[in-house]
Amino acid sequence: MLDKAKSLILRLCSSIRTLLTKHNACHLRVHDLDSTTVKRQTEPMPSAEPDHIPGFCRDCLCEVTEAARCPSCHSPRVIRHGRLHDLSIAHLDCDAFYAAVEKRDNPDLKDQPVIIGGGRRGVVSTACYIARIHGVGSAMPMFKALKKCPHAVVIRPNMDKYATAGREVRQLMRELTPLVEPLSIDEAFMDLTGTERLHRQSPARSLARLIKRIEAEVGVTASIGLSDNKFLAKLCSDLDKPRGFSVLASDEAYDFLAPRSVGFIWGVGKALKGKLERDGIRTIGQLQKAEKADLMARYGSIGARLYHLSRGEDARTVSPHGAAKSISAETTFSKDIRDLAHLERKLWRLTEKVSRRSKAAGLAGETVVLKLKTADFKIRTRNHKLDQPTQLADRIFRTAKPLLEREADGTPYRLIGVGISQLCSDHLADQGSLLDMDAGRRADAEHAMDKLREKFGVTAIEKGLGFEPRQPQDD
Ligand code: DCP
Ligand code: MG
CATH of the domain at 356: 3.30.1490.100
| 8 A C-beta contact, residue 98 and residue 157 | yes
**What pLDDT sits at residue 312?**
96
222-227 and 245-247 beta bridge pairing: parallel
**Which atom of ligand 1 lies nearest, measured to the CA of 242?**
26
pLDDT digits (tens, 9 = 90+) for 109-122: 999 999 999 754 58
Indicate if ligand 1 lies below 6 Å from the C-beta of 34: no
Distance 28 CA to ligand 1 centre (A): 25
How far is ligand 2, taken at its centre, from the CA of residue 126, in Å?
9
Given a cut of 90, whether residue 101 has pLDDT beyond it is yes
- Residue nearest (by alpha carbon) to ligand 1 atom 3: 125
| Ligand (nearest to CA of 185) | 1
Q: Within this chain, do residues 330 and 305 fall inside the same structural domain, yes or no?
A: no
In a domain, 59, yes or no: no
pLDDT at 33 over 80: no
Q: Which range has the worst mean pLDDT, 41-45, 160-164, 430-434? A: 41-45
Residue 337 shares a structural domain with residue 449: yes
Angle, alpha carbons 87-89-94 (nearest 5°): 120
Domain boundaries, position 332: 326-474
Binned at pLDDT 50, 70 and 90, residue 8 comes out as very low
- Ligand 2 centroid – CA 100 distance (Å): 10
pLDDT at 105: 97
pLDDT at 160: 85
pLDDT tens, position by position, 52-68: 899 999 999 999 988 88
Q: Considering the domain boundaries, does residue 221 fall inside one?
A: no
- Asked which of 263, 278, 310 is the last residue of a domain, the reply is 310
The percentage of residues in the chain with a pLDDT greater than 70, rounded to a whole number, is 81
Ion ligand 2: residues, Cβ under 5 Å:
93-94, 97, 186
118: buried, middle or exposed (CB in 10 Å: 19+, 13-18, 0-12)?
A: middle
Q: What is the pLDDT of residue 216?
A: 97
Residues with a catalytic annotation lie at 187
pLDDT at 169 over 50: yes
* Minimum CA distance residue for ligand 1 atom 23: 96
Q: Is the CB of 95 under 6 A from ligand 1?
A: yes
126 and 273 in contact (C-beta within 8 Å)? no
pLDDT classification of 270: cutoffs 50, 70, 90: confident
Contact 68, 74 (CB under 8 A): no
pLDDT in tens, 370-413: 999 999 989 999 999 988 889 999 999 999 999 999 999 999 99
Instruction: Output the pLDDT for position 357.
Output: 85
Same domain for 392 and 469, yes or no, is yes
* Residues 263 and 297 both lie in one domain: yes
Does 398 lie in the same domain as 261?
no
Nearest ligand 1 atom to the CA of 99 is: 14
Q: What is the atom index within ligand 1 of the atom nearest the CA of 98? A: 14
Dist. CA 345 → ligand 2 center (Å): 32
241: CA distance to ligand 2 center in Å?
9
Residue 186 CA: which ligand 1 atom is closest?
15
CB of 94 closer than 6 angstroms to any ligand 1 atom: yes
pLDDT at 444 > cutoff 60: yes
Mean of the per-residue pLDDT values of the chain: 84
Q: What is the mean pLDDT of residues 96-100?
A: 97
Residues 332 and 369 in one domain: yes
pLDDT digits (tens, 9 = 90+) for 275-290: 999 999 999 999 999 9
Strand partners of residue 89: 191, 227
List pLDDT tens digits, range 125-149: 999 999 999 999 998 999 999 999 9
Domain boundary among 278, 310, 342: 310
pLDDT digits (tens, 9 = 90+) for 353-366: 999 888 877 788 99
**Would you state the pLDDT for residue 14?**
38
Residues in contact with 153: Cβ distance below 8 Å, sequence separation at least 6, in sequence order: 109, 112, 113, 114, 115
User: How far apart are the CA of 97 and the centre of ligand 2, in A?
Assistant: 5
Q: Is residue 262 part of a domain?
A: yes
Check residue 34 and give its pLDDT.
Answer: 32
Is residue 240 lining ligand 1, measured as CB closer than 6 Å? no
Q: Is the CB of 125 under 6 A from ligand 1?
A: yes
| pLDDT at residue 44, as a whole number | 36
Q: Which atom of ligand 1 is nearest to the CA of 139?
A: 8
- 292 falls within a domain: yes
Same domain? For 403 and 454 the reply is yes
> From atom 20 of ligand 1, which residue's Cα is the shortest distance away?
96
User: How much is the pLDDT for 267?
Assistant: 80
The closest of 50, 48, 75 to 62, measured between CA atoms, is 75
- The answer for residues whose C-beta is within 8 angstroms of residue 190's C-beta and 6 or more apart is 89, 90, 91, 92, 173, 176, 177, 179, 180, 181, 207, 318
For residue range 331-348, list pLDDT tens digits in order.
988 899 999 999 999 999
pLDDT at position 469: 40
| Predicted pLDDT of residue 12 | 45
Q: Tell me what pLDDT residue 428 has.
A: 66
Residue nearest to atom 6 of ligand 1 (CA): 125
**With a 6 A CB cut-off, is 190 part of the ligand 1 pocket?**
no
User: What average pLDDT does range 299-322 have in this prediction?
Assistant: 88
Q: Rounded to the nearest whole angstrom, what is the distance from the C-alpha of residue 236 to the centroid of ligand 1?
A: 16
Do both 262 and 344 map to the same domain? Answer: no
Would you state the pLDDT for residue 40? 29
Residue 466, pLDDT score: 45
CATH of the domain at 291: 1.10.150.20
State the virtual CA torsion across 161, 166, 168, 169 in degrees, nearest 10.
140
- Asked whether residue 361 falls in the same domain as residue 435, the answer is yes
pLDDT at 258 over 70: yes
Longest dimension (CA), the chain: 87
Q: Answer with the one of 310, 340, 359 that is the final residue of a domain.
A: 310
Please tell me if the CB atom of residue 286 comes closer than 6 angstroms to any atom of ligand 1: no
Q: What is the pTM of this model?
A: 0.67
Q: 408 to each of 155, 328, 379, 391, 419, how far by Cα in Å? A: 38, 20, 14, 25, 18
CA distance 190 to 230: 9
Check whether residue 304 and residue 425 sit in a common domain: no
Assigned domain for 261 exists: yes
Residue 120 maps to a domain: no
37 falls within a domain: no
C-alpha to C-alpha distance for 427 and 447, rounded to whole angstroms: 14
Total Cβ atoms within 10 A of residue 77: 21
129 Cβ closer than 6 Å to some ligand 1 atom? no
Nearest C-alpha neighbor of 348 from the set 461, 467, 239: 467
Phi/psi at 233 (5° precision) = -60, -40
Comparing 351 with 299, the larger pLDDT belongs to 351
Q: Looking at the structure, tell me whether residues 396 and 449 fall in a common domain.
A: yes
State the CB neighbour count (10 A cutoff) for residue 322. Answer: 12
Number of domains the chain contains: 2
Does residue 91 have a pLDDT over 90?
yes
For residue 48, tell me if it sits in a domain: no
pLDDT at 227 over 70: yes
Q: Is the CB of 93 under 6 A from ligand 1?
A: yes
Q: What pLDDT, on the 0 to 100 scale, is given for residue 427? A: 65
pLDDT at residue 405, as a whole number: 96
Candidates 155, 186, 245: which one to mutate for ligand 1, based on the most atoms within 8 Å of Cβ?
A: 186
Helix axes 2-24, 250-257, angle to 10 degrees: 60
What's the mean pLDDT in 44-53? 54
Q: Are residue 262 and residue 366 in the same domain, yes or no? A: no
Q: Could you tell me which residue, 433 or 385, shows the higher pLDDT?
A: 385
